[in-house]
Structure 1
Amino acid sequence: MKRWVDFVCMLLLLLRNNSVLSQLCVATALGWLLLKLLAKRRQRRECFLVDFTCYKPPVERQANAELSIYVSLSAETIIPENLKFQWKIFLSSGLGEETSLPRFIFNDEMVATLEEARVEMEETFFATSDELFARTGVTPQDIDIVIVTVATFTAAPSHASVVASHYKMKESVKTFNLSGMGCSAGVLAVNMARDLLLVNPDSYALILTTENTTINANYPGNDRTFMLTPCLFRVGGAAMLLSNKPQDAARAKMRLLHSIRTNVAADDEAYACIFVTEDDDDVYGVRLRPSLHAVAAKAVANNLARLGPKVLPLSEQLYYAYNWLCVKWLKMKVEAYVPNFKLAFQHFCVHPGGRGVISGIGKNLKLNEYDLEASRMALFRFGNTSTSGVWYEMAYLEAKRRLKVGEHVLQIALGSGFKCNTAVWEVLREKHPLESSCWDECLHRYPWDTRKNYTDDFCDQWLSRLTPIQPTSNDLDINTT
């Protein structure tokens, strides 16, 4: 502080001298000080995505449609009508034959334990982090901030502490553990990292996101509002490295421009549309109410209403304001105008929560199938991977060589609460041809037409094939002896 006081006093003394040289020195000093402040402010505001990786589960844990329904068949308490209902969800969900289930499904006992939940989490986090460190050259000791998001699984020590312990990170590392934040936590963590980087100059932030599916992979009850979760959610995860170091601007893949968070939990229906609880028979599960699509549409509309003025051209904003005035104040019978967000973004990563969610958001934003291709393919290949879903879409766009320097990408993530979080990225460099990707070895098969509808007769035919054969009395005697 004393140095700054002495510097100001020196400038005041120079100003008392009316010579041209003194005035030139003062002007030079003030200009240098202004440039210094602007550079420092720019440095504190920049948030770079250095790189990111997505988890690719082992091939031996892939679950086709028959294995998925076999998990439900193993629960003898499910009545045939609900089994058929669950099977129809499987077939029309938009999921393909290569999504992955947790490890315990492939064990003889098929019992979801706390240890199995920890194994799934650690496998995902360590695999993505190791690949990220290898690709960026950043070591675990260089990390200053760790943010971990696991939607429905909480443990002690926290997941962030598990990561810090495994990699022997420095004692000054700041760790944050986000649990219960739903599928939107992956984008929410980016918003949190940006805010932390604003007050921590020259820092690296590591973000790890996943959905622990072990505890929710099977629902043995008969309440249909609980049956969607095991049908849609699959194993997956992602790791992102964010930085505010100016030297990382040359090698970073993207720059974060905007991040908007919207929470409509004040609405009781929105708060309860996704709820972890027990059904009437005290069976644990995740309840999804039919009002989910309406709640999601409202949350997305509120979020984009805040994002629009930051990204849309002025002409589009004026036309929207004029339409709003005609509808709300003048009571004119005209259709409400939806701004054309394709004027601001070249690519869209819509939360792959299900085929209906993707189609609903695409319809509201007037997106075509090309715009929704990454979302549909991520759902088809990897399923609903919760917090990491939008990053599988980003990896798809990269693998297809669609991200060009200067283009903008919009990520839209939805989650319980109910929340809608968005992030706007500017592409700084394209993917290197030799970089690995979770889409390697299968990219040539996409895009794939996932719009299928199955009749009741088709479901009955498959169920008759999959119904387990009841053992005879002789079989029981042999097994007993």
Structure 2
Amino acid sequence: MSRVKLLSLATAVPPFAARQDEAKAAGREMFGRKNLFDKLSSVFDNARIDQRNLVAPIEWYSKPHGWAERTALYVEATEALARDVARKAIASAGLVPADIDGFVFVSTTGIATPSIDARIAPGLGLRQNIRRVPMFGLGCAGGVTGLATAARLAAAEPGTKWLYVTVETCSISIRLDSDDPAAIVATAIFGDGAAGAVVSSEGEALATIVGGGEKLWPDTLGIMGWRVEDPGLAVVFDRAIPPFVEAELEQAIDKILADSGWRREDIDRFCCHPGGVKVIDAIETAMDLPVGTLDLEREVLADHGNMSAPTVMFVLERLIARGMPEKVMMTAFGPGFTCAGLLLTR
């Protein structure tokens, strides 16, 4: 990957919010399997999440919704969040919409055809010859993979400016009818949010993207993802995620770094997707980081929950605000099972 500049970064959350104690009380009231909920309700207390933002008032989740209603809410909410972060990212880069040459859009928590980028492009003022790259199925890894894709496209055509937006509405997938323990875990940790950025080979940079890579493990399709069911998506969370990360992450990260000519000792700060408190702990263990090193990851998790793909961008935003270290590696895990990495310099 040629050197590409991160010109801007923006984040947004939907207007509704729920404290963790509210979410726990609502879950106890709404879930059909009371015994199962009571057995697993401690996950709300142990998740170390204070609150999260939602695309609908909490009362919406108490009623049954089919695919049509869930999809209508997904499209409406995702369009609004995507427009918000796109405008912020373009303005923060010192550009106007007509300056944008390409648009990478990442989302896995709903479906829309035409895709969200096509739906919002005219209203944003993007040109009619805009190149669009909608990406689906990346899950939590999409925050890193989407940004990496935009950077590679910008590198391939020097001087072009690429808008990257990711929106996830995890809460729409809440399934009160499920007897799967993963459904209760998802209710305890998921939130909704969006992030955006502009990248180019030219311009004033917040940071420079200099490399990246991925690791895909065979025979791991059941670790993380979505099952397509009636009346909606059903989350796939395997208990093996934290121990898998602890066992496999070090080798995967070292290989991604080596392919870019870096070593782990070169990294001043890892910027990680905070999928959950146990995952954060597993990353610190796997990478021999002192306990508490991933403080911003824990802050974002506490303030927003796991928003899937956008979450790591929230961490990067705080890292830049605090003072961008000289060399940073972004990491995120997603369905596949995959690890995505992206290398940035100050």
Provide the residue aligned with 1:73 in structure 2: 28
The residue aligned with 1:453 is: none
* Corresponding residue number in structure 2 for 1:408: 327
Partner of 1:93: 47
Q: Could you say what secondary structure the match of 2:340 adopts?
A: strand
Cα distance in 1 between the residues matched to 2:155 and 2:200: 10
Q: Deviations along 1:448-477, whole A, 9 cap, x unmatched?
A: xxxxxxxxxxxxxxxxxxxxxxxxxxxxxx
Q: Are 2:341 and 1:422 equivalent residues in the alignment?
A: yes
| 1:307 is the counterpart of 2:232 | no
Partner Cα distance (1:288, 1:384) in 2: 13
Matches of 2:101 and 2:214, distance apart in 1: 24
Compared CA separation, residues 88 and 259, structure 1 to 2 (3 A): same
Residue 237 of structure 1 deviates from its aligned partner by: 1.2
For 2:228 and 2:199, locate their aligned partners in 1 and report how far apart those are by CA, in whole Å.
39
- 5+ residue gaps in structure 2? none
Corresponding residue for 2:112?
A: 155
Superposition map of 1:322-333 within 5 A = none
* Aligned-pair CA distance for 1:157: 0.9
TM-score between both structures, scaled by the size of structure 2: 0.90
**C-alpha distance 412-192 of structure 1, shift in aligned 2 (>3 A):** same
1:51/1:241 contact within 8 Å kept: yes
Q: What are the equivalent positions in structure 2 for 1:30-179 lying under 5 Å apart?
A: 45-58=2-15, 61-75=16-30, 77-80=32-35, 82-96=36-50, 98-107=51-60, 110=63, 112=65, 113=69, 114-179=71-136
Q: Point out the structure with the larger helix share.
A: 1
How many angstroms apart in 2 are the aligned matches of 1:176 and 1:299? Answer: 31
Give, as a single letter, the amino acid of the residue that structure 1 aligns with 2:166: T
Structure 1 segments of 4+ aligned residues over 6 angstroms from their partners: none
Q: Which moved more, 1:368-377 or 1:356-365?
A: 368-377
Q: CA deviation at 1:133?
A: 2.4
Q: Deviations along 1:155-207, whole A, 9 cap, x unmatched?
A: 11111212323213212211011111110011111221222123322100111
1:459-470 correspondence runs (5 A): none
Q: Which has the higher contact order (CA 8 A, sep 6+)?
A: 2
Unaligned runs of 5+ residues in structure 1 are: 1-43, 314-340, 428-481
- The residue correspondences of 1:349-364 to structure 2 (distance < 5 A) are 349-364=271-286
| Aligned with 1:259 (options 183, 194, 212) | 212
- Which has the larger displacement, 67-76 or 361-370? 67-76
Counterpart contact for 2:18–2:54, Cα < 8 Å = yes
- Which residue of the partner structure matches residue 245 of structure 2? 296
- What's the % identity of the aligned pairs? 20
- How far apart, CA to CA, are the structure 1 residues paired with 2:14 and 2:61? 20
Q: Quick one: which of 156, 177, 193 aligns to 1:236?
A: 193
Q: How many pairs are equivalent?
A: 341
In structure 1, what is the equivalent of residue 221 of structure 2? 271
For 1:368, give the aligned amino acid. Answer: P
Task: Give the deviation of 1:370 after TM superposition.
Answer: 4.5
Higher Cα Rg, which structure:
1
Alpha-carbon shift at residue 108 of structure 1 (Å): 9.1
The residue identity in structure 2 corresponding to 1:403 is M
Could you tell me how far 1:263 is from its partner in structure 2? 1.4
CA RMSD of aligned residues (A): 2.4
Structure-1 residue corresponding to 2:152: 195
Q: Is the contact made by 1:219 and 1:285 (CA closer than 8 Å) also made in structure 2?
A: no
- Secondary structure at the aligned position of 2:221 is classed as helix
Provide the secondary structure at the position in 2 that maps to 1:349.
Answer: strand
More displaced stretch, 202-211 vs 364-373: 364-373
TM-score (norm 1): 0.66
Q: Sort the Cα spacing of 1:85 and 1:125 in 2 relative to 1 into closer, same or farther, 3 A.
A: farther
SS of 2:236's equivalent?
A: strand
Q: Is the 8 A contact 1:234 1:383 kept in 2?
A: yes
* Inter-CA distance 109–369: structure 2 relative to 1 (3 Å threshold): closer
The answer (yes or no) to whether the contact 2:162–2:200 under 8 Å persists in 1 is yes
Q: Which has the higher strand share?
A: 2
Q: How does 1:200-239 map to 2 (within 5 A)?
A: 200-239=157-196
Alpha-carbon distance change, 296 to 130 in structure 1, aligned in 2, over 3 angstroms: same
